[in-house]
Chains A and B, each alone.
Chain A
Amino acid sequence: MKEIEQVPRSALIWILLGMAALLAPHAGRLPVWVLAVYGACAFWRLQIFRGRWRYPGRLVKFGLIGLACTGIWFSYGSLLGLEPTVALLLTAYAMKLLELARRQDAYVLLFLGYFICITEFLFTQDLLIVLYSLITVWLVTTALVALHQGQQRFGTTSLRQAGVMLAQAFPLMLVLFFLFPRIGPLWTVPVKSHAARTGVSDFMRPGDISNLSKSDEVAFRVSFEGDIPARSSLYWRGLVMSRLQEGAWSSLGYYEVPPAERRAPEVATAGDAIDYSVLMMPTQQRWLYSLRYAESSQGGVMEAPDFRLFRPVEIEEQYRYEVRSWPATTLQPALSEWRRETELRLPEGDNPRTVALARSLREAAASDEAFVDTVLARFTNEPYVYTLQPPLLGENPTDGFLFDTRRGFCEHYAAAFVTLMRAGGVPARVVAGYQGGEVNPVNRTVIVHQFDAHAWAEVWLEGEGWRRVDPTAAVSPLRVEQGLEQALAGEGSFLADSPLSPLRYRGINWINSMRLQYDALTYRWQSWVVGFNSENQFSILQEYLGELNGRKFVTILLGSWVLVLVPVGFWLLRRRSPAALDAISREYLAFCQRLARLGVERAPGEPPGAFAERAVVALPQSASAVREVTALYERARYAGGDSTPADTLRSMRRAARGVGRQNRLG
């Protein structure tokens, strides 16, 4: 006897809307054909609804699944990993539309929709994406409600109901969010593929950093305890590259360092300390950025023998760490034999002109220090050009750059400088990281973008240890003092590929202030909500609640829920005593009173019909109005009524007004 539970039309529309909204933020990551599958499936389902087409048979469905898997394989080269898994999920989700016949199917589709919302969060937890996802969740919930309201007409009733419920659930969610214990991962899960990584890599060829400089993404944000140091001193060390191989600089792996050298040497700190915390965006790399010389007391942050910080695990999510730096500290006053040899090594026979130049310059210089100055003076005095669009270099790139093209970006200068130093017998290495950053006056954080990526050099001098030398500064002092945009102002190549980046419009005041306000908000969001972890959970709870124990925990959880649930329950379940039908009775009684004032009084228990007849005789001018009110009343009261009570009520009120007026006129 059970009728088949169909999916009503309005629910179908909401489902399609919800799916489109779910898909939109994923669209940029998906191959185009997945989007086409969506369009096709939605169209097919609508044709089914209109009775034109039919549901696909089992064979067709299996065929489609096979095609989808093959398509994912071809697009990603694998079915494993986060991106292909999500793409497969989204494709299956689209095709599930072709199975959407009964209510049960709709449940599967909608619950899957919630899950797809979560997969979006695995890629980004940006504030705007989260706000957008709230709307998506609202749409999916609306579809769920529409499924039960069973109305064919598409309207906003379901939207309102879903909105009310979500609004009521929201405060409860906040309580759970802050109280739920954060435990570490239970098992390893597929991670984002490394194809998506942006940021400085541990392998530097000419052109790598200039590529990075085309991106306006944020690399990390820093908030300083005290004053923000001068821009020209903000050298964020990330990687130290000591090895030149086949034209590329790279850093030494852990096992390439002899065991005796693996521990970070003891350092006697000197000068004033700077305290700051860095909130890093995910890099899928291990190294961290800091000013020299940095130490971090935070668990999980380690120090490498070349005085940089790193984490033993890759940074898959945004990561925040506290650092203390002493810029005036002397680093490694004495070099070990192995270290000296490593920092001097050059490939045999490469770049012969460079090597010859270095030897002659070193011979002419009185000391290593003078040699450094000579080389830097050469960069300043000779016609070297700082540019984002350097020409290609052939074999012996350093020779080509130093003697022929003389146009390059920071990595060219750093690499050439270090090669010159090493050829001249001075231990030197390339350091990669970021330089500078934008100070946000709203919350006094320093925003470091990808285009702040930079490479410079460190040379070891007797009695001084490692000294930072930035050959780029010798060519283009503006780059260090004011940043890339000013340094490239003549060329106009700053963010040339992203015409819509708000960073290009820093000259327009209101756009810039909006951008900075939003960035400050993002910083808050990232550090307090996205970065909420067991540590700050514990400290916040302890700060507000004092000593923590299980009973307090449960009391707060339940207490806050009661605070929300009781008013909601009261609001939902209160008896609406003036019910609609009773409103009609009241209207009728008001009408009787009106007649009574005109001299016709209704006897107790007198049937409305009889009373009306009496009233008509007494007030013949109002006959039609009296009859109308009575008829409306009796119909509403006894016949169940075809029109809604609200309509009846309106008509009665209008007619009853007629009684008085006509009488007074008459």
Chain B
Amino acid sequence: MSYAPEQAAPAAAISWRARLQRRFREWVNRRIPPARSVTLDQKRIFIFPSRVGFFFLLCLTVMLLTAINYENNMSYGLTFLLTTLFIIAILHTYANLSGLSIHAVQARPAFPGQQTEFDLRLERGGSRPRFDLRLGWPDSTEQRVSLVESGSDTLRFYCPVGERGWYHPGRLLIESTYPLGLLRCWTWVDLDLRAVVYPRPLASPDLPGHAAADAGGSAIPVAGSDDFDGFRDYRTGDSLRHVHWKGLARGHSLQSKLYAAYAESDCWLDWDAFAGLPVEQRLSHLCYWALEFERRQEDYGLRLPGVRIEPGRGDAHREQVLSALALYGLGGGA
């Protein structure tokens, strides 16, 4: 029953079944195109008796046989009342999903083997309470919510991610069997959510092309060994710590202080530094170093073919660098 668009059939064994599944996926894609916000309507909602519903129908059959064999009109009456209750339940089950809006909020980046977080916002769109909604991606955790008191709710899902690149969680399954459990009403929505998966950090002894600053084998420039060397006009990428704030306060133009060691420690994570290694390994090493610099509070820049990120640090910078590494060679930037 679960819908898993990522499941690719082995190319060798494209059976009629796989073809059927693909056809079905295409049909669902046409019917429910990806969107950041979805309001459920009859085009998107499917409904069918649940397993419990079939069991109920079996019970109804037994009741009907009892009524027939005992020629008992009240038994007929009760059997029919429950039959029509089943039919009425179709409308109520459907109404429980209909009009519900789901908004994609965010997806957090993650390293391979970790779990990403997807945040959704659920709005009931009206004053009627919604009960017993189950939401989840094929691989994610499942959430069970009711919207009774408040009109909306923010949900977080955890989902293990695969290798470097974009992680598409697939279609989100939203289902409910409210109010009687006899019918299952569901939809698959593609919220156009994808998470960035960074390269797997892989330690390398040193960063080739980077002058080792101490004998301990670490090639990281030591931030403390700064002999003041003079001023120069501020350029983007200069650390704010090196801005000559006092001069600025006196009315001079924005200037950076230059240190002797600074020029050398302006450190670049360079694609060419690991020449000869496979692409993924190169990216993994660069990722490792980016994290390492970040940990040591050093500025670092990134040079990849077609990508150049000036040195800097901080969360935003780190994310920029890691994303560039994550999406290297995949096209369709961040």
Chain A interface (Cβ within 8 Å of chain B)? Answer: 1-3, 103-104, 107, 111, 114-115, 117-118, 121-122, 125, 130, 133, 137, 141, 144-145, 147-151, 161-162, 165-166, 168-170, 172-173, 176-177, 180, 182-189, 316-317, 529-533, 561, 565, 568-569, 572-573, 575-576, 579-581, 640-642, 644-645
Tell me whether A172 and B55 are in contact (CB under 8 A). no
Interface 0/1 of B57-75, CB less than 8 Å to A: 0010011011111111111
Enumerate chain B residues within 8 angstroms of A575, measured Cβ to Cβ: 99, 126
Tell me whether B78 and A118 are in contact (CB under 8 A). yes
Tell me whether A115 and B63 are in contact (CB under 8 A). yes
Q: Is B132 an interface residue (CB 8 A)?
A: yes
How distant is B252 from chain A, measured CB to nearest CB, in Å? 36
Tell me whether A107 and B62 are in contact (CB under 8 A). no
Tell me whether B181 and A148 are in contact (CB under 8 A). yes
Q: Is B262 an interface residue (CB 8 A)?
A: no
Enumerate chain B residues within 8 angstroms of A569, measured Cβ to Cβ: 91
Enumerate chain A residues within 8 angstroms of B94, measured Cβ to Cβ: 572-573
A-B contact pairs, 19 of them (CB 8 A): A1-B136, A121-B78, A130-B74, A149-B178, A165-B180, A166-B85, A170-B81, A170-B84, A172-B80, A172-B87, A173-B84, A177-B77, A182-B71, A184-B68, A184-B71, A530-B74, A572-B95, A575-B126, A640-B153
How distant is B33 from chain A, measured CB to nearest CB, in Å? 22
- Most-contacted residue by chain B among A137, A173, A317, A645 (CB, 10 A): A173
Tell me whether B85 and A121 are in contact (CB under 8 A). no
Contact of B146 among A149, A176, A182 (CB under 8 A): A149
How distant is B2 from chain A, measured CB to nearest CB, in Å? 12
Tell me whether B81 and A122 are in contact (CB under 8 A). no
Q: How many residues of B contact A (CB 8 A)?
A: 59
Q: Is B330 an interface residue (CB 8 A)?
A: no
Q: Is B281 an interface residue (CB 8 A)?
A: no
Enumerate chain B residues within 8 angstroms of A161, measured Cβ to Cβ: 92, 179
Tell me whether B74 and A125 are in contact (CB under 8 A). yes
Tell me whether B87 and A122 are in contact (CB under 8 A). no
Enumerate chain B residues within 8 angstroms of A640, measured Cβ to Cβ: 150, 152-154
Q: Bound complex: CA of A642 vs CA of B150, how far in Å? A: 8
Tell me whether A173 and B125 are in contact (CB under 8 A). no
Q: Is B56 an interface residue (CB 8 A)?
A: yes
Contact of B181 among A114, A147, A184 (CB under 8 A): A147
Tell me whether B69 and A186 are in contact (CB under 8 A). yes
How distant is B145 from chain A, measured CB to nearest CB, in Å? 10
Enumerate chain B residues within 8 angstroms of A165, measured Cβ to Cβ: 85, 88-89, 92, 179-180
Tell me whether B87 and A169 are in contact (CB under 8 A). yes
Tell me whether A176 and B69 are in contact (CB under 8 A). no
Enumerate chain B residues within 8 angstroms of A180, measured Cβ to Cβ: 76, 80
Q: Is B141 an interface residue (CB 8 A)?
A: yes
Enumerate chain B residues within 8 angstroms of A145, measured Cβ to Cβ: 179-180
Nearest chain A residue, comparing its CB with the CB of B74: A121
Enumerate chain B residues within 8 angstroms of A172, measured Cβ to Cβ: 80, 84, 87-88
Enumerate chain A residues within 8 angstroms of B151, measured Cβ to Cβ: 579-581, 645
Given A148-B179, A149-B132, are A114 and B70 also a contact pair (CB < 8 Å)? no
Enumerate chain A residues within 8 angstroms of B150, measured Cβ to Cβ: 640-642, 644-645
Q: Bound complex: CA of A641 vs CA of B74, how far in Å? A: 50
Chain B interface (Cβ within 8 Å of chain A)? Answer: 52, 55-56, 59, 62-63, 65-85, 87-89, 91-92, 94-95, 98-99, 125-128, 131-132, 136, 141-142, 144, 146, 148-154, 177-181
Tell me whether B52 and A107 are in contact (CB under 8 A). yes
Q: Bound complex: CA of A322 vs CA of B78, how far in Å? A: 29
Nearest chain B residue, comparing its CB with the CB of A108: B55
Given A165-B92, A165-B179, are A176 and B72 also a contact pair (CB < 8 Å)? no
Enumerate chain A residues within 8 angstroms of B180, measured Cβ to Cβ: 141, 144-145, 148, 165
Q: Bound complex: CA of A162 vs CA of B62, how far in Å? A: 23
Nearest chain A residue, comparing its CB with the CB of B89: A165
How distant is A197 from chain B, measured CB to nearest CB, in Å? 17
Given A118-B78, A176-B83, A579-B125, are A3 and B144 also a contact pair (CB < 8 Å)? yes
Tell me whether B70 and A148 are in contact (CB under 8 A). no
Tell me whether A1 and B87 are in contact (CB under 8 A). no
Enumerate chain B residues within 8 angstroms of A147, measured Cβ to Cβ: 181
Q: Bound complex: CA of A188 vs CA of B69, how far in Å? A: 7
Q: Bound complex: CA of A520 vs CA of B87, how far in Å? A: 35
Contact of B72 among A104, A107, A122 (CB under 8 A): A122
How distant is B136 from chain A, measured CB to nearest CB, in Å? 8
Tell me whether A317 and B126 are in contact (CB under 8 A). no
Enumerate chain B residues within 8 angstroms of A168, measured Cβ to Cβ: 88
Q: Bound complex: CA of A104 vs CA of B56, how far in Å? A: 12
Tell me whether A573 and B95 are in contact (CB under 8 A). yes
Tell me whether B88 and A568 are in contact (CB under 8 A). yes
Tell me whether B75 and A121 are in contact (CB under 8 A). yes
Q: Bound complex: CA of A189 vs CA of B94, how far in Å? A: 40
Tell me whether B73 and A176 are in contact (CB under 8 A). no
Nearest chain A residue, comparing its CB with the CB of B85: A169
Enumerate chain B residues within 8 angstroms of A151, measured Cβ to Cβ: 146, 148
Nearest chain A residue, comparing its CB with the CB of B125: A579
Tell me whether A572 and B92 are in contact (CB under 8 A). yes
- Most-contacted residue by chain A among B71, B73, B75, B99 (CB, 10 A): B73
Enumerate chain B residues within 8 angstroms of A115, measured Cβ to Cβ: 59, 62-63, 66
Tell me whether B142 and A317 are in contact (CB under 8 A). no
Q: Bound complex: CA of A94 vs CA of B241, how far in Å? A: 77
How distant is A326 from chain B, measured CB to nearest CB, in Å? 32
Q: Bound complex: CA of A148 vs CA of B150, how far in Å? A: 18
How distant is A587 from chain B, measured CB to nearest CB, in Å? 15
Contact of B63 among A114, A150, A184, A531 (CB under 8 A): A114
Tell me whether A530 and B73 are in contact (CB under 8 A). yes
Given A122-B75, A532-B73, A644-B149, are A150 and B95 also a contact pair (CB < 8 Å)? no
Nearest chain B residue, comparing its CB with the CB of A317: B71
Given A122-B70, A130-B74, A180-B80, are A150 and B132 also a contact pair (CB < 8 Å)? yes
Contact of B84 among A176, A182, A185 (CB under 8 A): A176
- Nearest 8 interchain pairs by C-beta: A172-B84, A169-B84, A572-B95, A121-B74, A176-B80, A576-B126, A169-B85, A173-B81
Tell me whether A149 and B131 are in contact (CB under 8 A). yes
Q: Bound complex: CA of A121 vs CA of B52, how far in Å? A: 25
Enumerate chain B residues within 8 angstroms of A169, measured Cβ to Cβ: 81, 84-85, 87-88
How distant is A40 from chain B, measured CB to nearest CB, in Å? 27
How distant is B59 from chain A, measured CB to nearest CB, in Å? 5
How distant is B208 from chain A, measured CB to nearest CB, in Å? 44
Tell me whether A579 and B127 are in contact (CB under 8 A). yes
Contact of A150 among B65, B66, B142, B146 (CB under 8 A): B146
Enumerate chain B residues within 8 angstroms of A176, measured Cβ to Cβ: 80, 83-84
Tell me whether B81 and A166 are in contact (CB under 8 A). yes
Nearest chain B residue, comparing its CB with the CB of A161: B179
Q: Bound complex: CA of A264 vs CA of B84, how far in Å? A: 50
Enumerate chain B residues within 8 angstroms of A148, measured Cβ to Cβ: 131-132, 177-181
Q: Bound complex: CA of A530 vs CA of B70, how far in Å? A: 12
Enumerate chain B residues within 8 angstroms of A644, measured Cβ to Cβ: 149-150
Enumerate chain A residues within 8 angstroms of B89, measured Cβ to Cβ: 165
Given A115-B63, A118-B63, A121-B74, are A576 and B128 also a contact pair (CB < 8 Å)? yes
Q: Bound complex: CA of A24 vs CA of B3, how far in Å? A: 47
How distant is A100 from chain B, measured CB to nearest CB, in Å? 15
Q: Bound complex: CA of A87 vs CA of B59, how far in Å? A: 19
Nearest chain A residue, comparing its CB with the CB of B81: A173
Enumerate chain B residues within 8 angstroms of A170, measured Cβ to Cβ: 81, 84
Given A103-B181, A532-B73, are A177 and B59 also a contact pair (CB < 8 Å)? no
Enumerate chain B residues within 8 angstroms of A579, measured Cβ to Cβ: 125-127, 151
Enumerate chain B residues within 8 angstroms of A122, measured Cβ to Cβ: 66, 70, 72, 75
Given A137-B81, A141-B85, are A125 and B68 also a contact pair (CB < 8 Å)? no
Nearest chain A residue, comparing its CB with the CB of B140: A1
How distant is B310 from chain A, measured CB to nearest CB, in Å? 35
Enumerate chain B residues within 8 angstroms of A114, measured Cβ to Cβ: 59, 63, 78, 82
Q: Bound complex: CA of A581 vs CA of B148, how far in Å? A: 14
Nearest chain A residue, comparing its CB with the CB of B41: A573
Q: Bound complex: CA of A148 vs CA of B83, how far in Å? A: 19
